[in-house]
Amino acid sequence: MKEKINEEVLCILRYKDNELIIDYEPIEINFSNETEAFKKLCQTNSDNLLAISQYLKATESIIPLQKHYKYCQKLDGSYQGFIVNFEERVERIIQSRDIFYLNSKDNEDYNIEENIFNLQVELKKEFILWVSAYNIEKSYRKCFDDKQILTFSHRINGWSNPEYKLSQNFTVELKTNFGYGSASYFYIKLKYKNIEITPFSEWIDYEIAKFSEIVRYTKSFAYRILFQPLK
């Protein structure tokens, strides 16, 4: 398919016509005008940091972006998730700008234009990330509300192991651990008449947390598609 999973669409398991099928749900698009306006502020070769700061402080329509996101940019990355706070971000922008100009006074070889340009590029990427995280969270809520959707792909960090009954004899458990670096996983565990079909096992070591676990599973998958259970 052309659409990118967890970027443009969610991959879902849906009950349809008494069958369990794989389907796709488009991810909502919000803040299109605001994103274009912010990108224009950032895509200049001149110092536009004050205008960017003012946009973050004064644009009421983007206030909903301010929240904590359990969003993973990299499916097997570590220290994922972030908080959007415009006041704190503006303060850091102004501090960086002051440092740039101070360094340019003390060092004639200091390239202030390059540093300002790089920061504005970084801010553009950050804003796009904020909007992407907001959009996918709204799509999660839509999936939660649809009773035909059993589960859906996601970028949420943390442990998850929902279990679903597929037939009278078979159940499936989706085991994911998202956002823990090399310790991340995506396993499926099948049960037949309550007997676990788990020919494989793996020792998962969380070095920083000094914690380990043994996970038994039926099949292992790449991190590209991960599923969030419905509550």
Same domain for 207 and 132?
no
- Asked if residue 13 is part of any domain, the answer here is no
Classify residue 145: in a domain, yes or no. no
Structure tokens at 43: 């895509």
Q: What is the pLDDT of residues 138-154, one digit of tens each?
A: 999 999 899 888 888 88
The pLDDT assigned to 66 comes to 98
pLDDT beyond 80 at 1: no
Quickly count: other Cβ atoms within 10 Å of residue 192's Cβ: 11
Among candidate residues 75, 103, 137, the one where a domain is terminated: 137
Q: Which has the minimum average pLDDT: 95-109, 165-179, 193-207?
A: 165-179
**117 DSSP 8-state letter:** H
End-to-end CA distance of the chain: 29
Q: Both 132 and 41 in a single domain?
A: yes
Measured CA to CA in angstroms, residue 145 lies from 88, 141, 150, 170, 231 at distances of 34, 6, 11, 26, 10
pLDDT value, residue 225: 45
If asked whether residues 39 and 121 sit together in one domain, one would say: yes
> What pLDDT does residue 185 have?
81
Beta-bridged to residue 220, according to DSSP, are 187
In a domain, 7, yes or no: no
In a domain, 23, yes or no: no
Separation of alpha carbons 8 and 212, rounded Å: 35
Q: Are residues 38 and 121 in the same domain?
A: yes
Q: Is residue 22 part of a domain?
A: no
- Is 169 found in the same domain as 224? yes
Clarify whether residues 113 and 165 are in a common domain. Answer: no
pTM above 0.85, yes or no: no
Mean pLDDT of 193-202: 87
Looking at the fold, whether 86 and 58 belong to one and the same domain comes out as yes
- Give me 66's structure tokens: 């301010």
Go through 119-153 and write b for each residue having 16 or more CB atoms within 10 A of its CB, e for each that does not: bbeebbeebeebbbbbbbbebbeebeeeeebbbbb
Whether residues 198 and 119 share a domain: the answer is no
Distance, in Å, from the CA atom of 140 to the CA atom of 24, rounded to the nearest integer, reads 12
Q: Are residues 105 and 59 in the same domain?
A: yes
Most confidently modeled range among 44-53, 72-81, 188-197: 44-53
**pLDDT digits 0-9 by tens, 64-97:** 999 999 898 876 677 778 999 999 999 999 999 9
Q: Which range of residues forms the domain containing residue 210?
A: 157-229
What domain count does the chain have? 2
**Tally of CA atoms within 13 A in the half-sphere of 84 that contains its CB:** 21
